Structure 1
Amino acid sequence: MTNLPPPAEELRLLDAELWHLDARRAVLLRRRAWLLDTLRAASAAGGGRVHGTVPPVWPVRDAAAHRPETTAPGVQNVLLVLGGVLLTVAAIAFTLVGWGHMGIVGRSLVLGAVTVGALGAPVLLLRRGLESTAEAVACLGLALTVLDAYALREVVWTGTDAPTYAAAASALLAGAWAAYGPAVSALVPAAAHGDGDGNADQDGARGEDGTGAEGRGPGRAVLRLPLPLATATAHLPLLLWALAAGAGAHTVTAALLATAAAGTAVALRAPALPVRIVAVVGSLCTGVVGVVSAGLLGWSADGPGTAARSAVLLVLAAAVALVAARSVRESGVAVAAATAAGLCAVAGAGGVLRASLPGVWTVPGYLVCGAALLAAVRTPLDRASRRGLVLASLAVQGLAVLWSVPLVAGTLIGPVTGLERPWSGVPRDFRAAVFQDVPWPPDAATVPLVLAIVAGALTVVARRRAQEWPLAAVGAIVSGWATLLVLPGVLELPYGAGLVAQGALVVAALGGAERARRAAGGTSPLMLTAMVLALVTSVALVLVSLASEPVTIGVLVAATLGFGAAAARPGFGPFAAPAAFVHATALACAIGASAGWQPPQTALLVLLVPAVAALVAARPVGRATAVSVEGAGAAAGLLALALAATDPPMLALVLSLCGLVAAGAAFRPDRRPAAHVAAVLLLLATWVRWAAWDVTTPEAYTLPVTVPALVVGFLRRRRDPDLSSWPAYGAGLAVTAVPSLLMTWGDPHWLRPLLLGTAALAVTLAGARHRLQAPLVLGGTVLALVALHELAPYAAQVVGALPRWAPPALAGLVLLALGATYEQRLRDARRVREALGRLH
């Protein structure tokens, strides 16, 4: 009877057999192909005999192992480039150094002959279809023309000025190179770049549509490099002519900008991509240098006439950039070009104003010119150009705002120094109150005007292009606020008038926030911005008011009531409510200082803020408002603790009151975790009170923790009978047991060991009664250690009575017992393993 293998095993065998068959078939197919090739070769030779032919040995390696690591065109290009470079270096060395006895004239004649040959060779090479070689030889010929120009000056025009000759030579070379490429192409027939027999080369310069690379007709072979090289060289003649003529800075700058304009025209009109790339790079380089030079000339101009000459150059650059912006198709490039045009125009016009007006009006003059660019939004320019001009205007406005930052920052930060000397007396004016220890910025008189112009310009943009520039309205509000903020200091208003002005600014900001909320139907960026500005201004106002005691209290009362009233408005609660409580906290501190109270006594007054905050947060005011109010109350509580830190009894009282406030908050269903905070605060209050009473007994500090912890653990186990006794009772018992046990071992008296042992016995019995592991283990461990502590003196006496050899012997016996036990365990394990091994 034949036993068939399992299905899985049979399937594996079949798969293996099929794989061997496929491999054998592949070998046979290769052999068949070789035989067919051999027969065809013999038939072509006429013999028809294939006898005795030795079959090839099939290689084991894969054919991909012989794959070349680079392409044939790549190798070709590398060789041609290296060859051209080496020949150019050799030509330079030949021209400059020469052959020993041969003079410069002889070298020039030889170099000229070689140049003619190098320039004429591409015609023959193109007719043979060797376009890459023709390009390399043509580049060599172009390089030789430069050396020819050098040789001609050394031989013929020896007395010519170097800059003048360089300008003329660069112009002639640029023209000659530009004409050379088309001339060579014209000498090559349309279909003559094949293999010499009139057949077109399939790997030549023919495009996929049958046209040549430059689109000059079917199969037209051209040289691609002469025209880009000519374009690059064409950027030199005008600048070199200006330098050769000894022109001034304005003329050289004009030459640079004219060259940039010509390069831009070539970049916009040239059909070939390499020419466009070279023209763009050249025009950018010369244009940037020209614009920077013109800007520096305008900035250093000593009169309107000189500034006007620089302005004309900058306007020329702006016109070129704007034409480029309107001509290109890429929107990003067009916007960048239009932005550059706008900045150039502002630099030119602003330079004229700077030279015509006093120095204090420099920034406003440039800003007015920048704001005037916003008129571009109503011109028939294309969208990209208008956007670029608006970006240029915004950039100028941003620079003007940066210039005004020192005054705005000083107005906000300067009053902070008043915290060091509060209620020092009413200053002579508002500027003196703000800039006591902060220097007054130079040319600050025109800062309000600058900020007002920026605010007006951004307002125009926000009204007409709200969708395109959504942040313009925010910038307008901030700029207008900054204008009103710095105005009292700039005008040197009296101290009281400045306070009234800043208070009115707070009210105006709150009113603006309300208006923005109504317009948007809810919270909006404009509303949030106005609210933040109101908060910042109120803080600055409070800091400025520190110069006078009644003014400080009056400002704090007004700020508390004002923000408290604002908190009742929809959407204002999360911002205005905590601000009201912060000002109320400052008011409590100010009242305590005015009454002559010490900081610990003032802390009791500050605690009214957390209490009121907890009451407000308990009302239906919204989650965001409740969280912000509780945060402000918590900050006030921390301040109260800091004020009372130097007086332990008062600190204990403050901790207790804070704990009561937290416990009251814990009655809310969503604030149950506040109960833990309340417990910690009350515990800290107890500890501080014990410390104030010089209590050194650790149980006084640990029992207030143990008792509540055991109660909480008992309640948790009632709700969850499966809860282990370790998380329920372990921590509470250890808090008292461990410190007391440590104190017991250093306590010579009998009372603590007796009480601790009694408590440990009670805990152990309770654990045994209810079968709880944590009380049983902890109580038993503490009881044993207490008993050991009590027996330690007697044990020491017994040890002293024993001979010295007894402890080592006892230790040896213990080790022997442990060793025997270990061996017994190993033997038992070996027997079990052997018994399992005998099982079938």
Structure 2
Amino acid sequence: MNNVPSPAEELVVLDRELARLDAHRAQLLARRAWLLSVLYAPAAAVRPSRPAAETTPRGAQNVLLTLGGVLLAVAAVAFTLVGWGHLGIGGRAAVLAAVTSGALAAPVVLLRRRLVSTAEAVASVGLPLTVLDAYAVHRVGLPGAGAAGYAAVASAVLAALWAGYGAAVRGLRVPGPAAVAAAQLPLLLWALASDAGALTVCWALLATAGCDVAVAVRVRAGAGVRVAACAAAGVSGGSAVLVAAWLSVADGGAGPAVALLAAAGLAGYGAWRAAAGAGSWPVVWAAVAGAVAVAGGGGLVREAVPHGWAVPAYTAAAVAVWAVAVRQGVPRGVRRGLLGASAGVQAAAVAWALPQTAAASVGVSPGVPWAVVAVTVTVAGVLASLRLRPARCGALALAWTAGMALPGALSPPYAVTPVARLLLTAGFLFLAVRPAPLTFRLPRAREAEGALGDVALGGALLGGLAAVAGAWDTGAEAVAVLGVLTALLAGGAVVAAGTRRTVLACAAVVAATGTVGAVAAVAELPVHLTGVALLAVPVATAAAGAGLRRHPVALPVELAGAAAGAVAVGLASARPAVLALVLALCGVLAAATAVRPERRPAAGYAATALFVVAAWVRLAASEVSFPEAYALPVAVPALVVGVLRRRRDPEASSWAAYGPGLGAGLVPSLCAAWTDGSWPRPLLLGLVALAVTLAGARLRLQAPLLLGGAVLALVGLHELAPYVVQAVGALPRWLPPALAGLLLLAVGATYEQRLRDARRLRDSLGRMG
């Protein structure tokens, strides 16, 4: 019995069989592809490769068309200039007319057939032919016309014809830029033909540049026309600016200045229109406009001001440009360009003014022109109007410069200048301690107060120095100026806070030092007595430091006073006796300062050193030569200090407590005893060394025991040396080697015992203090 499957089961079987067949077909196709690659791979490897093309078909076409147009133009020129005489007037006119008409008509046909590049090439030939036609008309029809005038009319006619031809024949890019180029010549050639002067030529160039700007802004014929118009405007306008600037500098007058302002207006209009787009062109054109406007405006102002005020005139023009730039509604790119041009001119003006003010401040130059003051004040006002911290700092610095230059500009009596500078110093001191008015309308005013206060503080040190420099040669006036300056600085230090208070306090100490020196100079004191007088400054600073105690300003003030004491020592060095006195007084000040707990270590060491040096200088001035006079003043106080230290700190080492004093007292005398042939010094030194050694043994202290014993042994050796030398000279020569050998044998025989004894001695010394 046969079982027939159902339709569903049979469909499943068929689908499986078809899937198997598809998989097998895919395997066969993959195998076939691999076999083909194996068979044809060698042939493909040896097949010659086609060289890569080095240019595109369109590039080759353009080269050929350009070359053809150039050759046709050259042929036309050669025909016109060389072969012209072989034809009659009618024939020549007919040939040129026919060739020109054909060259200008052919692009219309070529454009209809969509041969754009060929049409451009043919039109590029036809346009120069019109120039040859104009030349032919001049040679045949108008031989008596002036060359420049006829060229002006011909260039205007050609520009109009080319512009019309380009508008009539749509699709050609050559006629428009060519018309723009031809339009640059009519006005310039007319000005040259009229022989009206350089200013007329300048205005002709400006008018041409204006027309170019109008074409660039208004005409929508294509990008090529606008680019050509912009380039032509730059060339014509730049040439006009150069001519006008040369005339303004060489001859002056209002004409060149007005021409420069007109050129600035054109450049500004172009920058304003270009601001709608992207890129840096608005900034560039605005910068050019600003610079030219400064040149023109400064030229006009210069005509109305006295001689020597040229720089302030141009500075005023730059400020006017700045005012225009910061107005509402000015595009960002235009504003940046105008501000850059104005800032450059103002920076140049400040660079011109600063050397003159600096020379007047230090007394090199007797006076300062008012123009210098005007420039610095003007630029300072511009910077002060900005809401920027660096600008306010610059304004403050320029205000100080103007204040320093003002007395030189006024030419007052000699005594007035230091007073004016003291007033300037007082004003800047006020701003240094209260800088809030300088931060008006500034963002982050608290942060800006620090920088502005520092600038004002710098102006107050510098102003004071200038006031002193101006009055130093006058004696009594120098004393008065220094006294007032000291009071100002001290008052500022009382009112100020932080670092400025410290700086002002130290500056007050310096000014006080100068005051004392000036008083001594007026009193005609000798130099060494001036050094004694200067000690009043460290005395005052030490007293102030004692009153301030641990205040942050105390230590800097005392150090400044110490510097004044060093100056006093230097001045007193001319007289050794006075120098000893000054050093001793400085030691007294240091000792008084050492009483204070916060100054004790450093001041104590300084006092000791000063006292010792003072004693040595006094001894040297008295022509004392024996070393004990120099050593004992050091040794005795050092030993006293050591005793006090051991009482306070019993654990302190005897080397730290007594070593310096014993060394200072014994070693110089030992050196002198070895070179001294007499007997008192060695005897006394031996007795002292014996006493020190016995004291060290009694108190079980290392330093006295070893130092005293070493000195005692060396003194004894010095005393026995002559007798030893005499005895050795009397002995046979074999005796010293024999004695040395016996000594070595003895040492070798008892080596272990000696080492044990040495260890025992070392341990006993180690148990000492």
TM-score, with length taken from structure 1: 0.58
Question: What SS does the aligned partner of 2:385 have?
Answer: helix
How far has the Cα of 1:367 moved from its partner?
Answer: 1.0
Give per-residue Cα distances to partners, 1:401-426, cap 9 Å, x unaligned.
22121232123211xxxxxxxxxxxx
2: CA distance, partners of 1:562 / 1:610: 20
The residue aligned with 2:476 is 550
2: CA distance, partners of 1:355 / 1:312: 18
Q: 1:365 aligns with which of 283, 292, 313?
A: 313
1: CA distance, partners of 2:258 / 2:567: 63
How far has the Cα of 1:360 moved from its partner?
Answer: 1.0
The residue aligned with 1:528 is 454
Indicate whether 1:122 and 2:57 are aligned: yes
Q: 1:501 aligns with which of 403, 408, 420?
A: 420
Indicate whether 1:412 and 2:342 are aligned: no
Give per-residue Cα distances to partners, 1:110-166, cap 9 Å, x unaligned.
xxxxxxxx6xx535xxxxxxxxxxxxxx4x8878888778877776646999xxxxx
The residue aligned with 1:795 is 724
How far has the Cα of 1:694 moved from its partner?
Answer: 1.0
The residue aligned with 1:217 is none
Indicate whether 1:380 and 2:329 are aligned: yes
* 1:285/1:589 CA distance change after superposition, 3 Å: farther
Q: 2:673 aligns with which of 727, 730, 744?
A: 744
Q: 1:480 aligns with which of 389, 399, 421?
A: 399
* 1:251/1:663 CA distance change after superposition, 3 Å: farther
* 1:702/1:533 CA distance change after superposition, 3 Å: same
- Does the CA-based 8 Å contact 2:693-2:705 persist in structure 1? yes
* 1:776/1:390 CA distance change after superposition, 3 Å: farther
The residue aligned with 1:589 is 517
2: CA distance, partners of 1:291 / 1:714: 93
Indicate whether 1:452 and 2:371 are aligned: no
The residue aligned with 1:754 is 683
* 1:369/1:327 CA distance change after superposition, 3 Å: farther
How far has the Cα of 1:364 moved from its partner?
Answer: 0.4
Q: Which amino acid aligns with 1:508?
A: G
The residue aligned with 1:108 is none
Mapping of 1:122-521 within 5 angstroms? 122=57, 138=59, 157=77, 299-300=249-250, 302-313=252-263, 316-317=266-267, 320=270, 327-328=277-278, 342-354=290-302, 357-375=305-323, 376-382=325-331, 385-386=334-335, 389-414=338-363, 435=364, 438=365, 444-461=369-386, 466=387, 469-513=388-432, 515-516=434-435
Question: What SS does the aligned partner of 2:326 have?
Answer: helix
Give per-residue Cα distances to partners, 1:360-418, cap 9 Å, x unaligned.
1111011112222332323212456545544544443332222121232123211xxxx
2: CA distance, partners of 1:786 / 1:256: 112
* 1:762/1:621 CA distance change after superposition, 3 Å: closer
Indicate whether 1:567 and 2:489 are aligned: no
Question: What SS does the aligned partner of 1:498 have?
Answer: helix
The residue aligned with 2:594 is 666
- Does the CA-based 8 Å contact 1:374-1:390 persist in structure 2? yes
The residue aligned with 2:632 is 703
* 1:551/1:783 CA distance change after superposition, 3 Å: same
The residue aligned with 1:833 is none
The residue aligned with 1:109 is none
Indicate whether 1:684 and 2:632 are aligned: no
Q: Which amino acid aligns with 1:378?
A: R
- Does the CA-based 8 Å contact 1:321-1:337 persist in structure 2? yes
Indicate whether 1:578 and 2:518 are aligned: no
* 1:44/1:608 CA distance change after superposition, 3 Å: closer
- Does the CA-based 8 Å contact 2:517-2:530 persist in structure 1? yes
1: CA distance, partners of 2:80 / 2:555: 86
How far has the Cα of 1:345 moved from its partner?
Answer: 3.5
Q: 1:630 aligns with which of 548, 558, 561?
A: 558
Give per-residue Cα distances to partners, 1:260-294, cap 9 Å, x unaligned.
999x99xxxx99xxxx9xx9999999999998898
How far has the Cα of 1:555 moved from its partner?
Answer: 2.8
The residue aligned with 1:3 is none
The residue aligned with 1:52 is none
TM-score, with length taken from structure 2: 0.63
Give per-residue Cα distances to partners, 1:508-565, cap 9 Å, x unaligned.
3334445535887896333333333233223322332234333333333333334334
* 1:340/1:306 CA distance change after superposition, 3 Å: closer
- Does the CA-based 8 Å contact 1:559-1:583 persist in structure 2? yes
2: CA distance, partners of 1:335 / 1:147: 40
Mapping of 1:640-659 within 5 angstroms? 640-659=568-587
2: CA distance, partners of 1:793 / 1:280: 113
How far has the Cα of 1:452 moved from its partner?
Answer: 2.0
* 1:747/1:501 CA distance change after superposition, 3 Å: same
Question: What SS does the aligned partner of 1:567 have?
Answer: helix
The residue aligned with 1:6 is none
* 1:535/1:157 CA distance change after superposition, 3 Å: same
Give per-residue Cα distances to partners, 1:478-522, cap 9 Å, x unaligned.
333322322222122122343443333333333444553588789
Q: 1:786 aligns with which of 712, 715, 730?
A: 715
1: CA distance, partners of 2:549 / 2:332: 48
Q: Which amino acid aligns with 2:404?
A: L
- With 151-160 and 670-679 compared, the bigger mean Cα shift is at 151-160
The residue aligned with 1:432 is none
Give per-residue Cα distances to partners, 1:718-777, cap 9 Å, x unaligned.
666665555555444444444333333222122333333344444444555555555555
How far has the Cα of 1:707 moved from its partner?
Answer: 3.5
* 1:525/1:308 CA distance change after superposition, 3 Å: same
Question: What SS does the aligned partner of 1:378 have?
Answer: coil
The residue aligned with 2:99 is none
How far has the Cα of 1:256 moved from its partner?
Answer: 13
Question: What SS does the aligned partner of 1:380 have?
Answer: coil
Q: Which amino acid aligns with 1:454?
A: V
- Does the CA-based 8 Å contact 1:761-1:780 persist in structure 2? yes
How far has the Cα of 1:646 moved from its partner?
Answer: 0.6
Question: What SS does the aligned partner of 2:495 have?
Answer: coil
Aligned pair count?
Answer: 603
* Stretches of structure 1 lacking an aligned partner (at least 5 in a row): 1-36, 49-75, 85-117, 124-137, 162-178, 185-229, 415-434, 823-840
* 1:488/1:777 CA distance change after superposition, 3 Å: same
Question: What SS does the aligned partner of 1:748 have?
Answer: coil
Q: Which amino acid aligns with 2:405?
A: V
* 1:631/1:774 CA distance change after superposition, 3 Å: same
1: CA distance, partners of 2:480 / 2:318: 44
How far has the Cα of 1:335 moved from its partner?
Answer: 7.0
Q: Which amino acid aligns with 1:305?
A: G
1: CA distance, partners of 2:552 / 2:416: 37
The residue aligned with 1:89 is none
Q: Which amino acid aligns with 1:367?
A: T
* 1:343/1:774 CA distance change after superposition, 3 Å: farther
Question: What SS does the aligned partner of 1:524 have?
Answer: helix
1: CA distance, partners of 2:265 / 2:604: 73
The CA RMSD over aligned residues, in Å, is 5.7
- Does the CA-based 8 Å contact 1:757-1:783 persist in structure 2? yes
- Does the CA-based 8 Å contact 2:283-2:337 persist in structure 1? yes
- Does the CA-based 8 Å contact 2:367-2:408 persist in structure 1? no
1: CA distance, partners of 2:749 / 2:270: 102
Give per-residue Cα distances to partners, 1:162-206, cap 9 Å, x unaligned.
xxxxxxxxxxxxxxxxx9xx989xxxxxxxxxxxxxxxxxxxxxx
- Does the CA-based 8 Å contact 1:250-1:310 persist in structure 2? no
2: CA distance, partners of 1:440 / 1:562: 27
The residue aligned with 2:9 is none
2: CA distance, partners of 1:652 / 1:541: 36
Q: Which amino acid aligns with 1:682?
A: F
Q: Which has the larger radius of gyration?
A: 2
Indicate whether 1:600 and 2:528 are aligned: yes
The residue aligned with 1:424 is none
Indicate whether 1:694 and 2:620 are aligned: no
* 1:688/1:183 CA distance change after superposition, 3 Å: farther
